């Protein structure tokens, strides 16, 4: 699969989320069985998702490390069944190369790595072997698991831009082409516990155009939106609209149906 095949014209590409975890911040425990995850996958397809993103380990604040064995146990059966019963491309949300390799062999076709290939030195080899799209995300923390930290930036978009330039040079050294890459500038706690920086990124998103890679934004239910998780949908949709107008090609969301309905009004 090529990145260009994922990008839609005239509307954003919608990536629906299935967290096969007990501890994800807004849906932990809701889809952590094969039956529940498969039901959700069918629902996301019906609701209009263009991609399904499957993750087996939460990387949010205060989440816990899990073993490679446990992560494989969670995600591989789900990927195999969803691949059989839907027609959507599947993204594996992992920073472990062994999990990505098994997922790609089981039917996934995209790697979504919150560490931007920093978390596992072998991940770049897996990406090269499969020549698949790779989503690289910026995070304030060097580890896969983010923290609640009031990180301050003089110019947050310049920091992110420099980070991605370094990552682009890294993949070139390992024989990957930039045409395989999708960039995620991060949101919420991955940026800072201070909300203004997430809004600054969205307002200055066009400054990342010089990197010549599609942008993915994960705004859905994030802490910077404020209020309780259950109160964040409407504001999240409005911010997603601004992000799309400012250049985001892919929107990663828990609420596919509502997002699709919202963008019908554009």
Look up the CATH number of the domain holding residue 119. 3.20.20.20
Domain residues for the domain of 77 are: 10-263
Task: Examine residue 1 and state whether it is found in any structural domain, yes or no.
Answer: no
Distance CA 50, CA 227 (A): 29
Beta carbons of 14 and 259 less than 8 angstroms apart: yes
pLDDT of residue 146: 86
| Nearest in space to 256 (alpha carbons), one of 240, 110, 84 | 240
pLDDT of residue 143: 84
Helical (H) or strand (E) element with 115? none
pLDDT of residue 217: 98
Beta carbons of 243 and 251 less than 8 angstroms apart: yes
Neighbours of 150 (CB within 10 A): 7
State the total domains in the chain: 1
Task: Examine residue 203 and state whether it is found in any structural domain, yes or no.
Answer: yes
Distance CA 215, CA 79 (A): 24
Extract the tokens encoding 133: 């799209």
End-to-end CA distance of the chain: 28
| Nearest in space to 110 (alpha carbons), one of 94, 87, 98, 86 | 94
Active site residues: 222, 252
Helical (H) or strand (E) element with 54? strand 51-55
Task: Examine residue 178 and state whether it is found in any structural domain, yes or no.
Answer: yes
Tens of pLDDT, residue by residue, the chain (266 residues): 899 999 998 999 999 999 999 888 888 889 999 999 999 999 999 999 999 999 999 988 877 889 999 999 999 999 999 999 999 999 999 999 999 999 999 999 999 999 999 999 999 999 999 999 999 999 999 888 888 999 999 999 999 999 999 999 999 999 899 999 999 999 999 999 999 999 999 999 999 999 999 999 999 999 999 999 999 999 999 999 999 999 999 999 999 999 999 999 87
Task: Examine residue 2 and state whether it is found in any structural domain, yes or no.
Answer: no
Neighbours of 207 (CB within 10 A): 16
Task: Examine residue 238 and state whether it is found in any structural domain, yes or no.
Answer: yes
Task: Examine residue 90 and state whether it is found in any structural domain, yes or no.
Answer: yes
Taking the CA of residue 119 as centre, how many other CA atoms within 13 Å lie in the half-sphere pointing to its CB?
24
Task: Examine residue 3 and state whether it is found in any structural domain, yes or no.
Answer: no
Task: Examine residue 5 and state whether it is found in any structural domain, yes or no.
Answer: no
Q: How many whole angstroms from its chain centre is CA 117? A: 13
Distance CA 137, CA 94 (A): 12
Within the chain, residue ranges assigned H as helices are 3-6, 34-47, 68-85, 97-106, 123-130, 156-173, 196-203, 233-245, 256-263
pLDDT of residue 123: 97
Sorted by sequence, the CB contacts under 8 Å of residue 37 that are 6+ apart come out as 18, 20, 31, 54, 78, 81, 82
């Amino acid at each position: 699969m090529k990145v260009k095949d994922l990008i839609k014209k005239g509307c954003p590409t919608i990536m629906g989320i299935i967290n096969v975890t007990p501890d994800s911040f807004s849906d932990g425990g809701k889809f952590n069985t094969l039956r529940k995850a498969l039901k959700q996958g069918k629902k996301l397809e019906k609701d209009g998702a263009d991609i399904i993103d499957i993750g087996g380990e939460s990387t949010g604040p205060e989440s816990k490390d899990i073993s490679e064995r446990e992560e494989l146990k969670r995600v591989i059966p789900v990927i195999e069944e969803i691949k059989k019963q839907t027609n959507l491309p599947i993204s594996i949300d992992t920073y472990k190369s062994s999990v990505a390799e098994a997922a790609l062999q089981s039917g996934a076709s995209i790697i979504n790595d919150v560490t931007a290939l920093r978390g596992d030195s072998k991940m770049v080899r897996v990406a090269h072997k499969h020549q698949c799209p790779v989503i690289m995300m910026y995070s304030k923390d060097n580890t896969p698991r983010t923290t609640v930290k009031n990180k301050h930036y003089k110019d947050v978009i310049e920091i992110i831009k420099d980070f991605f330039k370094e990552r682009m040079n890294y993949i070139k050294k390992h024989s990957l082409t930039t045409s395989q890459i999708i960039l995620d500038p991060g949101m919420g706690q991955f940026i800072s516990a201070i909300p203004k920086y997430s809004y600054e990124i969205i307002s200055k998103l066009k400054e990342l155009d010089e990197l010549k890679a599609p942008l993915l934004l994960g705004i859905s239910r994030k802490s910077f939106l404020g209020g309780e998780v259950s109160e964040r949908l409407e504001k999240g949709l409005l911010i997603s609209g601004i992000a799309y107008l400012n250049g985001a090609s892919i929107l990663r969301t828990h609420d596919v149906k509502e997002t699709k309905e919202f963008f019908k009004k554009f």
